[in-house]
Amino acid sequence: MIARERTALATRPVARRAARLGPLARRRERWFYLLIAPWLLGFLLFKGGAPLVAELLEGASVPDLPPAAQESAAWLARQLAQNRARLRAFEAELAAVLEGAAAHGVPVMPLKGALLAFTLHREPGLRPMADLDLLVQPDDELALHELLAGLGYRLMNGRKYSGVRHRTYERPTDRVASGDGTHVDNPRRVELHTRLIRTVWLDHGGAEMGAWVWSSSREGELLGRPAQLPSPEALVIDVAAHATGHSMRGAGTLLQWYDIAALAARAERLDTAFAGWSYPALALATRAFYDPAIATKVMALAEAVDRNMVHHVAGVPLDDRAGLNLLGVHSNDLSWFASRWRRWRPNPWIVRLAYPGAPLPLAYPAYVGGVGVRAARKAALAVLGGRR
């Protein structure tokens, strides 16, 4: 997409953007047809960009579209309508959790989409999300567990823990209603966090950001209910570090970059805490949605980052080599071996995050050895009856 139209996706007002579409279509500019070409729809769906693009086209008068483009435009409109309905449901559910937590005196901090959909985007329906991410203090975890149970949620698979990083809650009736976008009736889960761990190895090591995010948070309101809100500076670092974790396993999204660029613009500065994790996604987002003011902040942050990572991020093309999942493949749809290979295969992102500062000829074998040690440890725990 050419730069001026990429910028148009993030600007207001809607009427001015819509007015540009007619002349663009009449001139048959390449970007317009690529934007709604059938082969691109699956990419937009998996990357979370379909509602944003649909809102750009909403209400526009675009003459003489070929039939395939008309079908694509209708598909985009359906994604926007579906996501608006889904976010209305999420809004009611989040409000109920916040209200119940406040009644019990438990501070709850919404993160990622649970916060961004209602504070960053022009309307919640433009920001798809799969679940509500909530951060609580460790001592409050049981109280939130009981609150969620009272609201009809249960721990997935009946396990006390769904993983070392968070607990995942669902409703007993949750089923996938449609694979066509973020359908309102698809599962709307809650992920309850007491820690915010960023690690290559998933089950050990890495950086724990939870206490740091809490330290600069404040009491406020979200959806008219009391909520603990992260500072703009902590929020952008957390979202960027999370996105870097996705990129290192080839699961990055354009929506993450879009969010990060908008958050970086709001933050007065980019904190150097956890710079090794936050910088890669921040730099990629700046390249994709360029703004001189954001670029200045990111350049200052680069001083705290390993030079090898800085050089890699500066030169990598903005495609699957930058960690974007261009094929729209979800690990749940792959075989056991393919999903593990996708998660653990050596690549410059994951190797540099695992061994910052080490030359790649040394980092690659060290990483492969680390994966082997992890696999052996998990196998031993399984044989001994420990938790996998």
Tens digits of residue pLDDT in 295-348: 999 999 999 999 999 999 999 988 888 888 866 666 666 788 888 888 899 999
Dihedral-angle region of residue 28 (phi above 0 means left; psi in -120 to 50 means alpha; beta otherwise): left
- Is the predicted pLDDT of residue 251 greater than 80, yes or no? yes
In contact, 170 and 154? CB cutoff 8 Å: yes
- Is the predicted pLDDT of residue 193 greater than 70, yes or no? yes
- Is the predicted pLDDT of residue 367 greater than 80, yes or no? yes
Say which range, 228-242, 289-303, 372-386, has the weakest mean pLDDT.
372-386
- Is the predicted pLDDT of residue 15 greater than 60, yes or no? no
DSSP 113-145: HHHHHHHTSSSGGGS--SEEEEE--GGGHHHHH
**Cis ω on the peptide bond leading into residue 138 (within 30° of 0)?**
no
Can you give the pLDDT at residue 2?
Answer: 33
Can you give the pLDDT at residue 334?
Answer: 73
CB atoms within 10 A of CB 129: 20
Can you give the pLDDT at residue 332?
Answer: 63
Q: How far apart are CA 241 and CA 279, in angstroms?
A: 8
Name the DSSP class of 12.
S
pTM, 2 dp: 0.86
Output the CA–CA distances (angstroms, integers) from residue 107 to 67, 81, 145, 375, in the order listed.
52, 33, 13, 38
In contact, 213 and 199? CB cutoff 8 Å: no
Bridge-based pairing of strands 131-135 and 189-193 is parallel
Closest by Cα among 151, 184, 183 to 169: 151
Mean pLDDT (the chain) is: 83
The residue with greater pLDDT, 175 or 231, is: 231
Say which range, 38-42, 66-70, 356-360, has the weakest mean pLDDT.
38-42
Can you give the pLDDT at residue 76?
Answer: 81
Say which range, 161-175, 264-278, 302-316, has the weakest mean pLDDT.
161-175
Can you give the pLDDT at residue 69?
Answer: 66
Which tokens hold the place of 340?
């593990």
Q: Per-residue confidence at 126, pLDDT binned at 50, 70, 90? A: very high
Q: Per-residue confidence at 14, pLDDT binned at 50, 70, 90? A: very low
Which tokens hold the place of 87?
């976010």
Bridge-based pairing of strands 154-155 and 167-170 is antiparallel
Can you give the pLDDT at residue 377?
Answer: 85
Output the CA–CA distances (angstroms, integers) from residue 116 to 37, 239, 279, in the order listed.
29, 10, 20
Q: Per-residue confidence at 65, pLDDT binned at 50, 70, 90? A: low
- Is the predicted pLDDT of residue 159 greater than 60, yes or no? no
Can you give the pLDDT at residue 117?
Answer: 97
- Is the predicted pLDDT of residue 8 greater than 60, yes or no? no
Which tokens hold the place of 138?
């460790």
Q: Per-residue confidence at 62, pLDDT binned at 50, 70, 90? A: low
Beta strands in the chain, from DSSP E residues, in sequence order: 109-111, 131-135, 154-155, 167-170, 189-193, 197-198, 207-208, 218-222, 225-229
Closest by Cα among 113, 109, 192, 110 to 155: 192
Q: How far apart are CA 17 and CA 58, in angstroms?
A: 10
* Cβ burial 174-183 (10 Å sphere, 16+ → b, else e): beeeeeebbb
Can you give the pLDDT at residue 143?
Answer: 96
Q: Among residues of the chain, what percentage have pLDDT more than 70?
A: 79
The arithmetic mean of pLDDT across residues 181-196, rounded, is: 91
Helix axes 14-26, 50-57, angle to 10 degrees: 80
Q: Among residues of the chain, what percentage have pLDDT more than 90?
A: 57
In contact, 207 and 198? CB cutoff 8 Å: yes
SS3 content of the chain, % helix, strand, coil (to 5): 55, 10, 35
Can you give the pLDDT at residue 16?
Answer: 41
The arithmetic mean of pLDDT across residues 72-77, rounded, is: 79
Q: How far apart are CA 326 and CA 334, in angstroms?
A: 16
